[in-house]
Structure formats: C-alpha cells, structure tokens
Structure 1
C-alpha cells in the first residue's frame, strides 16, 4: 500500500478520463489530490465527492493544482456520475474500470458481496512532485471522516 513518501505509480492504460481509451497522465510535478472511492452513484460516494467539487477554489488557494476522483467503474458510469455531481467542474473523474490503478496503490478490497467485485477503499492522497505527502484511508468504506474535504483542507 502507498504511504507518506511513496511515489504514485504511473497510470495504467486502463485509467481513463472522459472517454474510452483516453488514458490519463497524472502529473509528475506540482501538488494534487487523488480521491479514491468504492463506486460511482453509491450513496456515501455521492455525498463525499461534492465537497471536493464545491471547495475546488479553496483547494487551489492552498496550492492544489488538480483533484482526481478515481472510481472502479466503467467510463460511461463515471461520466454520468460527473454529469450529475460536477457538470462544468474542473475536478477530473477517472474510470479505473479494471481496478488496476487501485491495486497498484494497494488500496483495493473485496466488495463482491455488495458491489460485485473488488473496489477501492475510500482514501485521499495529497501528492506533491509525484510523492504522497498525506494519505488518509477510512477504516470502513461507508465512512467519510478522515477523508472529508474539511479535514484535508485543514491539513494543507
């Protein structure tokens, strides 16, 4: 599992943004946030992510250049979710449809009982120049405590 000081791995070819086969490139310099969520359209995730959308300007004022929401869902579901939660927002919604990125960072868990497959733990990583400077992982997927945008803003 990634930890403070870890390098963020290169995005696998299956980590898409906006359309199929449009692999995202995570920045190697600057400061950004990755918000990992178990699933688009789930009630906890749909209440978690709007805080990052609504506070995007505050995050930028604290030096954050980008916010990436990573969900283990296909690109069509992720795009529909962004349309519902963040239409016109600068927050990037990424489809990790195969869960490869989530496995690379070591934050996957077996959610087959509820969501049908392995999913991402709920986490927030603050990344600067390719290295994790702050990592918060919820102890249970439905929780939004240490990963709440207010907690992250106060830590920046």
Structure 2
C-alpha cells in the first residue's frame, strides 16, 4: 500500500470515536465530510512522547485551531477504551475527537503504518499530521523515525497560516 497523497480523499471505513467522553461508531467519510480537519496520529496512547508532547500540544492549542475553523482529530492504533481513558487523563477538551483505530485498518488504508514489533508494540501508526478539507488531503506532514517536529500542534498552526 502506498501512502496517501495530496489531493486524495481519506479512506472510508467504519471507525470508533471518543466524542465528549462517549464511544461512537461512524464512517470516516462522514467524520471528515464538510469540514476542515487536522488529523494527527501517534504511535500509541500513554507512550512518552505522545503523552508528554504530542497530544498536550493539541490540547493547549485546541482553541487556536477552532478559531481558524479547523476541527482536531487524534488517532492511534489503540482500542476505544484506551483512547477514552487517555482522553480523560490528558484532559482533552470537549470537541476534540479521539479516533480509536484498534485494528489499524484506518492507518493501513492511509499507508502510514509502522511495524513496532521490535519494541513489543505490533502494528502502530507513524507519527504524522494532515490537513483535510471535506475529506481531501491538502497538507501531509510525516515524521522521520524517532522525530517529533513536523506533526506538532505548533508546526501545523504555522503550516495552516501559510
């Protein structure tokens, strides 16, 4: 599978979401339709960089994205209950959506999977952030292995501003 490209539509699959603390099933096409969205993905909930830097940056700057008319979705290859607990632990604000990609289906469809078997983690997502309008990818920022720069909230705000 090749990595999703600029101008392509995000894949349409059934996904699990944590919305305002509640678990919901929805089609991904419905989630991304008729809105501007930043989707960022982390290798795993409760992991060091993800919990200490990546998600907290988006929590801190959530209002900045909303002021730009952009919704924020965080994805991880974790089940819905783990994502729900992580959202509570990280004090994710109402309106920020946590996408639970428990089987990695959405991540694989994006072509952004990571083999974390060497670390005892199995299939995970690469660390990335993308900006989509009505489900069409307009920006894609994928981190090099072991890095955290281009997918941060601050980097995405700068990219959105120009």
TM-score by length of 1: 0.90
Return the alpha-carbon distance in structure 2 between the equivalents of residues 153 and 75 of structure 1. Answer: 27
TM-score by length of 2: 0.87
| SS of the residue 2:31 aligns to | coil
CA-based RMSD: 1.6
1:101 aligns with 2:106: yes
Q: Which residue of 2 aligns with 1:53?
A: 59
Return the alpha-carbon distance in structure 1 between the equivalents of residues 109 and 135 of structure 2. Answer: 14
**8 Å contact from structure 1 (residues 53, 89) kept in 2:** no
| SS of the residue 2:90 aligns to | helix
Superposed, 1:89-128 pairs within 5 Å as 89-128=94-133
1:63-97 per-residue CA deviation (whole Å, 9 max, x = no partner) reads 31x11101101111111100011244321111100
**8 Å contact from structure 1 (residues 44, 143) kept in 2:** no
TM-superposed deviation, 1:138: 0.2
| SS of the residue 1:22 aligns to | strand
**8 Å contact from structure 1 (residues 33, 124) kept in 2:** yes
Return the alpha-carbon distance in structure 2 between the equivalents of residues 153 and 109 of structure 1. Answer: 25
Q: Pick the structure with more strand per residue.
A: 2
| Alignment CA distance shift 1:155-1:87 (3 Å) | closer
Q: Which residue of 1 aligns with 2:148?
A: 144
| SS of the residue 2:46 aligns to | coil
| Alignment CA distance shift 1:39-1:150 (3 Å) | same
| SS of the residue 1:136 aligns to | strand
TM-superposed deviation, 1:116: 2.7
Which stretch shifts more, 127-136 or 112-121? 112-121
**8 Å contact from structure 2 (residues 59, 92) kept in 1:** no
1:128-155 per-residue CA deviation (whole Å, 9 max, x = no partner) reads 1221111000011x42101111111011
Q: Which residue of 2 aligns with 1:130?
A: 135
**8 Å contact from structure 1 (residues 108, 121) kept in 2:** yes
Q: Which residue of 1 aligns with 2:69?
A: 63
Moved over 4 A (4+): none
